[in-house]
């Protein structure tokens, strides 16, 4: 099989696995959503990166010397139904790169990234990706068992906090934070994030 070093060599209507994804050598950044290639948005703008940088620093400081670990994109997260045990690369058809994620189970981490649902994911919206984060990824994260999902709206200066209800296996909107609030994850209630500083840019 010839190497795949150009995106144009792939059929965007075809279904691919994570094993296929690992062989691709082109420059474009893509995600796999249930086997279908999804192009990533162009390079994030300054506002997006400023917000991401603030969250990254805050999470690093909070989780240092703790069992949970925080990671920022680019970082592969392989997702599948939470009822399934860890799968092989050929059995996985969804791989995403959240802006930030927190993983508390060290067995999910390997040299390639995270195998299974992180505990907490933060996605920062940018032009062109709002539908993916608020609809497609919302559903994926819910199905795979991500316990907490934050959607950050840079221009509205707000954060929507969703927490997975273990009984219904559906997300519940817990809080809609404004840019003047101090936000706190349900999973880590002693972590306070000053959104005025997050959106200071």
Q: What is the pLDDT of residue 38?
A: 87
2 occurs within a structural domain: no
Are 27 and 89 in a shared domain? no
For 144-187, write each residue's pLDDT tens digit.
Answer: 999 999 999 999 999 999 999 999 999 999 999 999 999 999 99
Q: Which residue has the higher pLDDT, 177 or 87?
A: 177
Q: How many domains does the chain have?
A: 2
Q: pLDDT band for position 102 (50/70/90)?
A: very high
Q: What is the pLDDT of residue 136?
A: 87
Q: What is the pLDDT of residue 1?
A: 53
- Whether pLDDT at 197 is above 90: yes
Q: Which residues lie across from 151 on neighbouring strands?
A: 123, 160
Are 80 and 145 in a shared domain? yes
For 16-37, write each residue's pLDDT tens digit.
Answer: 999 999 999 888 888 999 999 9
Q: What is the mean pLDDT of residues 96-116?
A: 95
8 A C-beta contact, residue 12 and residue 163: no
What is the percent of the chain where pLDDT is above 90? Answer: 71
Phi, psi at 72, each rounded to 5°: -115, 150
1 occurs within a structural domain: no
Full domain range(s) for residue 135: 46-198
Q: What is the pLDDT of residue 129?
A: 62
- Whether pLDDT at 133 is above 80: no
Q: pLDDT band for position 131 (50/70/90)?
A: low
Stretch (H or E) spanning 174: strand 170-178
Instruction: State the chain's mean pLDDT as an integer.
Output: 90
Are 65 and 159 in a shared domain? yes
Are 19 and 106 in a shared domain? no
CA 76, CA 96: separation in Å to the nearest integer? 6
Which CATH number do you get for residue 150? 3.90.1570.10
């Amino acid at each position: 099989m010839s190497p795949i070093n150009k995106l144009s060599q792939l059929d965007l209507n075809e279904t691919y696995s994570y094993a296929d994804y690992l062989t691709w050598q082109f420059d474009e950044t893509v995600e796999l959503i249930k086997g279908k290639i999804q192009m990533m948005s162009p390079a994030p703008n300054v506002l997006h990166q400023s917000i991401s940088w603030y969250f990254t620093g805050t999470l690093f400081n909070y989780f240092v010397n703790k069992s949970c670990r925080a990671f920022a994109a680019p970082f592969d997260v392989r997702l599948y139904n939470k009822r399934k045990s860890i799968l092989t690369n050929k059995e996985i058809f969804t791989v995403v790169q959240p802006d930030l994620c927190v993983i508390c189970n060290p067995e999910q981490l390997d040299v390639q990234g995270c195998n299974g649902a992180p505990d907490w994911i933060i996605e920062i919206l940018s032009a062109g990706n709002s539908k993916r984060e608020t609809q497609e990824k919302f559903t994926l994260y819910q199905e795979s068992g991500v316990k907490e999902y934050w959607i950050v709206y840079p221009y509205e200066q707000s954060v929507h906090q969703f927490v997975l209800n273990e009984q219904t296996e559906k997300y519940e909107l817990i809080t809609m934070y404004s840019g003047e609030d101090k936000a706190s994850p349900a999973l880590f209630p002693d972590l306070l994030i000053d959104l005025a500083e997050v959106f200071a840019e």
